[in-house]
A and B are shown apart, each in its own frame.
Chain A
């Protein structure tokens, strides 16, 4: 979880989430309290109180006790999942004073004053100003763009929605339908898209004075001649011109919510950047192992350039989703693609930096996903496993079925009718002296360590 997002829940609730996450990610069913105090560098007292408090929250939310603590050992009596973690996150977010303040700011278009918060929520003056200052340091509350992006990232992260007025919800649903009908977005992940649309429309409606000068200008990246249906604009009393839609599509674009084939054009600012980046990326796709056709290379390079374009925004909230990404899987399973994409990075950042180095992993992951979309990658870095079991007439088929289910995503081909063909790995219940390839022998249904050994061998061979 990004550290800035942690700021939107109470400090102790954030600690509880970290505690829960730590225990979830650990395979042990018991845990020593002192290990946690050492790891989190907090007092024994606070850990005990926090665990007790977490247990109370879980009991309230899910109706069971999660842990018991005896003699410094934590016993997990139930297996929790990340589902529970997310539900708790949302619960804690709902309890957070900063969330309340942000929500008030969104709904009314301006910060509430302390009198209102005192009468409605019992906040005293100093408490109000502390929360307000905290929120102000996290989000530039005077910038509608920052507020829209931040609110989307935050509420999306905690899987909840601001308590907007009914007409905003209705309008965002209508706009969502309109965008789908026009091919700008697809119907996947509708909640996420509706959240962004509703935040956008709400800000325009409730903070018109500050939004107007921005909306009356062309968006930095995207241009369309289309516009939001007049009926909706009139209902919300927002401008009836194409710039509103341009800004909305741009907001959707920086969060990767636009359809690949969305009928959009790019501005005079964005188009040269896109062309330059396409020119850099395309030749890289046609070299090496990727060997793309010119048509595929063009599509991929254009999509990749559009992805890179988002990094030219000044909106830091738009880039939070690009943090903390691991690409280890692709490095292991598709090393050729991985390293090929990695070589594009310095070229894109020359002569001027487009993507900061901290987003390298995000770049690699996204470009790989674009490549996956356009070309068949099953032939790249593939491994052939000879499956040769003779436990019973059915054994060989069963093993092959298991393997296909579990590891076929790793670009693996299987040979089940083996005579003398070459393979990369020989998998059997009997060692063979007739084959020079590495052998994996499973004498009985494979154990966890058998699977692990096979996986490690596959990765080792791929990296060769």
Chain B
């Protein structure tokens, strides 16, 4: 494949070669490319060729022609398609090739090759070794060559000699077409099976060459000068990975102008995929994973999902990047459930007697039975409630849920309440009093859904009624003489009388007189200080 001069003058490695095809980068959306999409390109402009192919060595693109080597000695040139292809799908290509105007006996050589090179090794083309059209020493290469210079001996580690049927001595043979390949060692071997002689080429004319690959049989077919070459690829290293299409040519002491034109190219780009997972802290999926795929080297960018009821706690460091062959990787967004609050108000005539507050995380079930509270609020019974008994904290960004259990005095006391309260209200505001009376006698049906904090978020500022702060002694049951309290609140801008609650038989209260803190005397401070030194236990 390569004559001796090339071997000796390694600094002159060069190149040649060629190729085509189209490019795909700009045809494919940044993050979504599908392996089953067939890319077809027929007519290339120089700009397209330049952007879709990379050249090295002596290769140049001018117009639609790839000139891999000029008719000069010791050149080596290669061009490869930037988008690797997927060999699990068919591809086909129609080329025109110009092998030059001289045969080897008249100083012509060396020929050109079409090769399938693993994408991972593409940077080794024309760098590792100039032998075998710049493909020597690259592992797992497969290709077809039109060889116009006979190599009669091996080049250790780079390539083996050409089949003997095409020549006896170095540079004195007949041109031929043959498949070649390398194993893990990178030594390029020309396959004598199905190798065929080709006609001498004595003008710089282009001749058509067709390449067809059938993925179902892993068979590649070459048509050139009315001859057909066929080979079944069995190397799984080639079949399974992204493959770069490479055209290369070289010259030594012998030389020719060696060119190709790509008329047509159909292929499927090799794609890589990534899985985007949305996980909780334990690694469980909390939303369906998404799969994104794209051609190698394409960029991708992912964003966290907005998941109601959860907040993002950590982002992976691969939220954006480029698709690489080794991806089958995942992009894991970690979330934690929001802490949500459930408040159940025990309400009697607009006054909250007890707030049961629960907190939990999204998905957690809050159970609560109001009966125990009623065993403490002995004088009351439930008149209506929107509390369902248990409540699963929903997947929702609202974090506060309010339920109300409306209480009524037990029957023996209700008579007094109804007699006194509405009458007082009607004196102050007959309309509102009537409304309140209606509310009592015709309870509103329980709400199907709780109130969220966005609609009413109780705070102490607007719910705490300003009441008289008369120290309360233990009250006898309200059934006898219920103590009334004058209450004004922002929510209820009218005056109403309200029963004072606080009748707890079990909790005996001493004659306690709370004093305003502002009147704390210096004596009490002394006592406090002394207490500081005599504190024995927490409780």
Contacts and interface: CB of A to CB of B under 8 A. Distances in A.
18 contacts: A1-B539, A10-B358, A27-B528, A45-B453, A46-B357, A64-B469, A69-B461, A69-B464, A78-B517, A79-B520, A100-B372, A123-B367, A124-B389, A326-B536, A328-B535, A329-B535, A329-B536, A451-B529
A375 B493 CA distance: 69
Interface residues of B, number: 71
Contacts of A69: 459-461, 464
Nearest to A99: B372
Interface string B501-515: 110101101101011
Given A61-B507, A451-B529, A56 B355 contact: yes
Given A45-B399, A91-B507, A52 B460 contact: yes
A188 interface: no
Contact of A64 (B470, B517, B536): B470
A263 interface: no
B522 A87 contact: no
Q: How large is the interface on A (under 10, 10 to 19, 20 to 34, 35 or more residues)?
A: 35 or more
Contacts of A55: 460, 464
B359 A11 contact: yes
A131 to B, nearest CB: 9
Interface string A446-461: 0110011001000000
B507 to A, nearest CB: 6
A64 B475 CA distance: 13
Interface string B427-466: 0000000000000000000000000010001111101111
A57 B346 CA distance: 11
Contacts of B472: 62-64
Given A12-B359, A46-B359, A79-B515, 8 more contacts: A51-B460, A52-B355, A65-B466, A65-B469, A83-B512, A100-B372, A328-B535, A447-B522
B464 A65 contact: yes
A306 B461 CA distance: 56
Given A12-B359, A29-B518, A123-B369, A455 B529 contact: yes
Interface in A1-36: 1, 10-12, 27, 29
B538 interface: yes
A127 interface: yes
A63 B461 contact: no
Interface in B265-311: none
A67 B357 CA distance: 19
Contacts of B358: 10-12
Contact of A329 (B389, B512, B516, B534): B534
Top 10 closest pairs, chain A to chain B, by CB: A63-B472, A53-B355, A127-B367, A69-B460, A122-B369, A12-B357, A29-B517, A78-B514, A52-B460, A63-B502
A332 B534 CA distance: 10
Nearest to B514: A78
Contacts of A77: 469, 516
Contacts of A62: 471-472, 502, 509, 512
B506 to A, nearest CB: 8
Nearest to A122: B369
Interface in A428-464: 447-448, 451-452, 455
Contacts of B502: 59-63
B536 A365 contact: yes
Contact of A53 (B357, B469, B525): B357
Interface string A324-360: 1110110011000000000000000000000000000
A248 B539 CA distance: 26
